[in-house]
């Protein structure tokens, strides 16, 4: 395959005249957050006045005796309105070992779809619809606690005005159903924050071990959520592609025009001005990745996921290294070549790999997540 030609990326440190981690944290970082909120993702809903946590059901000894399962209903309340979300939590049956991480992850197909058993709420929903994506036994054995909820419970994933009006944004006032400033990605980022709120109520969760994990549109979201929530100890963005970990300049597969045309409700209208005009962006997606620093970030691609553009996902992961190095954390060394398939480049601070296969989350991916977390402990 001929080598691709890439245009230069804006340097974060040069743009903000940053020489130290102090400068970056106190000067550049808040400006980048503001720029991305105003020009790409929108603002994340604030914290509601109250959240009640109800344990609906609990079972022990599931999944060959490895897992304890809890199902919670969270009720968020603000200004006389309420909004409820169900969360499914799996944790290892008492092994005596400390947890490796407590993972907050939104899911695509509802909690029943993510489960391996047939009796997860809601009972009448299709169960276990994405086999392999949530390998509970493997996760339990690796020491993960998993908390998952449906993205659609925070913002139904379509462009209809009522989806916007019925989203979590409604807790904070009347929503104009046509106002694209209320974005799905920011409502889902609120979802990650809400999962984190729940996790921190569980006695077995060490507050320093909460990781955000997301696949695809939820990988974009996990990065944006972690950028805004300092309680995330680290983040995994799996096949997040355009608007996620992939650089927009010289993008193959999905371009800004393609994503904004199909999913205008994911982004604010200000983002439209960069369609077919990516080089005019004063930032690129490595800015988003760098917002995690100094916390570890793992960017994962799949070899057949050309829509996401693995090489451009690698570029963002590598380019974010300039910010990690301000903290004395190596990240991916400069001039590291795009790695071959199934050859992870896991470093302190930043990790990257391309798994062979399609756009998905697989047991192989979870093994890399566990390795990366262990390396960054
Ligand atoms: C579409 C979209 C991507 C997104 C993906 C997903 O393919 O174009 O940007 O990441 O859906 O969420 O699965």
Would you state the pLDDT for residue 1?
A: 65
Q: Is 307 a pocket residue for ligand 1 (Cβ < 6 Å)?
A: yes
Dist. CA 208–CA 231, nearest whole Å:
7
Handedness of CA 279, 285, 290, 296 (dihedral sign): negative
Q: Render pLDDT for 286-329 as a digit per residue (tens, 0 to 9).
A: 999 999 999 999 999 999 999 999 999 999 999 999 999 999 99
Q: How far is CA 285 from CA 37, 207, 346, 363, in A?
A: 13, 28, 20, 27
The least confident of 17-21, 96-100, 258-262, 370-374 is 96-100
- Strand 101-107: give its sheet, edge to edge: 50-61, 67-78, 81-92, 144-150, 101-107, 210-215, 234-238, 297-302, 350-355, 345-346
Q: Mean pLDDT across the chain, nearest whole number?
A: 97
Question: Which atom from ligand 1 is nearest to the alpha carbon of 258?
Answer: 8
Question: In percent, how much of the chain has pLDDT > 90?
Answer: 97
Would you state the pLDDT for residue 95?
A: 79
Question: Which atom from ligand 1 is nearest to the alpha carbon of 259?
Answer: 8
* Tally of CA atoms within 13 A in the half-sphere of 246 that contains its CB: 30
pTM, two decimals, is 0.98
Q: Is 216 a pocket residue for ligand 1 (Cβ < 6 Å)?
A: yes
38 alpha carbon – ligand 1 mean position (Å): 22
Domain extents in the chain:
8-41+233-251+272-377, 47-210
Q: Render pLDDT for 136-194 as a digit per residue (tens, 0 to 9).
A: 999 999 999 999 999 999 999 999 999 999 999 999 999 999 999 999 999 999 999 99
Q: Render pLDDT for 197-228 as a digit per residue (tens, 0 to 9).
A: 999 999 999 999 999 999 999 999 999 999 99
Residue of 224, 158, 216, 165 lying closest to 191 (CA atoms): 224
Question: Which atom from ligand 1 is nearest to the alpha carbon of 216?
Answer: 10
Neighbours of 31 (CB within 10 A): 12
SS3 295: coil
Q: Does 2 have pLDDT greater than 80?
A: no
Neighbours of 240 (CB within 10 A): 30
* Atom 8 of ligand 1, nearest CA residue: 259
Q: Is 241 a pocket residue for ligand 1 (Cβ < 6 Å)?
A: yes
Q: Does 361 have pLDDT greater than 80?
A: yes
217 alpha carbon – ligand 1 mean position (Å): 5
- Give, for ligand 1, the residue of 218, 241, 242 to mutate: max count of ligand atoms closer than 8 Å to Cβ: 241
């Amino acid at each position: 395959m001929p080598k691709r030609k890439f245009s230069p990326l804006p340097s974060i440190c040069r743009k903000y005249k940053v020489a130290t981690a102090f400068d970056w944290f106190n000067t550049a970082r808040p400006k980048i957050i503001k720029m991305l909120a105003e020009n790409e993702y929108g603002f994340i809903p604030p914290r509601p006045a109250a959240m009640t946590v109800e344990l609906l059901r609990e079972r022990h000894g599931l999944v060959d005796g490895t897992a304890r399962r809890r199902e919670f209903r969270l009720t968020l309340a603000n200004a006389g309105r309420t909004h409820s979300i169900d969360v499914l939590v799996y944790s290892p049956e008492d092994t005596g070992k400390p947890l490796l991480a407590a993972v907050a992850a939104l899911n695509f197909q509802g909690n029943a779809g993510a489960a391996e058993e047939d009796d997860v709420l809601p009972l009448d929903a299709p169960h276990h619809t994405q086999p392999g994506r949530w390998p509970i036994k493997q996760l339990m054995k690796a020491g993960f606690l998993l908390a998952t909820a449906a993205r659609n419970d925070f913002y139904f994933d379509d462009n209809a005005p009522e989806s916007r009006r019925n989203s979590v944004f409604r807790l904070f006032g009347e929503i104009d159903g046509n106002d694209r400033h209320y974005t799905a990605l920011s409502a889902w980022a609120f979802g990650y924050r809400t999962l984190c709120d729940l996790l921190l109520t569980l006695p077995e969760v060490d507050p320093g071990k909460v990781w955000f994990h997301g696949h695809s549109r939820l990988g974009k979201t996990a990065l944006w959520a972690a950028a805004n929530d300092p309680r995330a100890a680290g983040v995994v963005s799996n096949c997040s592609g355009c608007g996620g970990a992939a650089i927009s300049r010289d993008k193959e597969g999905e371009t800004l025009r393609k994503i904004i045309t199909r999913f205008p409700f994911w982004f604010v209208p200000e983002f439209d001005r960069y369609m077919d005009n990516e080089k005019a962006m004063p930032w690129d997606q490595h800015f988003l990745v760098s917002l995690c620093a100094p916390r570890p970030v793992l960017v994962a691609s799949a070899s057949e996921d050309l829509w996401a553009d693995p090489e451009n996902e690698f570029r963002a992961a590598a380019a974010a290294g300039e910010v990690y190095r301000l903290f004395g954390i190596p990240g991916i060394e400069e001039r590291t070549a795009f790695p071959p398939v199934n050859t992870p480049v896991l470093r302190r601070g930043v990790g990257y790999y391309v798994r062979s296969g399609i756009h998905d989350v697989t047991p192989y991916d979870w093994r890399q997540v566990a390795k990366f977390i262990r390396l960054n402990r």
